[in-house]
Amino acid sequence: MNSIFKALNDETRRKILKMLKEKDMNAGEIAEKFNMSKPSISHHLDILKRADLITGKKEGQFIIYTINTTVVDDLFQWIYNLKLNHDEKSDSKRDSFLDINSNTDSLLDQ
C-alpha cells in the first residue's frame, strides 16, 4: 500500500495515470506530453509499475503501458473500509454520549 501512496504523491505520475486512463501508450508517447527527459519519464513509469498501478507489455520494439484499475479498486475499497470503521466508531461514541445525556436528564428530573 505504501508504494501506491508514494506513486500517487507525485503530480507527474498522476498525470500519466490520467493519460493512460484515456488510452494505452508507449514511453515515447508519454514523454511527448511532458517537458522532461526520457530517463525521468522512465523513472516515473518504473515507480508506477512497482506500485502495480500500470503494466507494460512488449509489442514489437515498444512497451505499451496500461493502467491497472484493479489496484485502484483495491485502494478505494481500503479507503471505504477505513471510513466505514471510523463512522461505526463515531456512531458508537455518539450513542454512548446520548446514553450518558439521557441518564443525566433522568437524574435532573428527580
- CATH number for the domain including 53? 1.10.10.10
Q: Which of 2-16, 18-32, 53-67, 79-93 has the lowest mean pLDDT?
A: 79-93
Confidence bin at 2 (pLDDT 50/70/90): confident
Contacts of 40 (CB under 8 A, 6+ apart): 34
Of 5-19, 57-71, 95-109, minimum mean pLDDT range: 95-109
Examine the domain organization and report whether 30 and 11 are in the same domain.
yes
Whether the CB-CB separation of 65 and 45 falls below 8 Å is answered with yes
Tell me: do 37 and 80 sit in the same domain: no
Domain of residue 27, residue span: 2-67
pLDDT tens digits, 69-94 = 998 888 889 889 888 877 766 665 55
Look up cell 458508537; give the residue. 92
Q: Assess whether pLDDT exceeds 60 at residue 106.
A: no
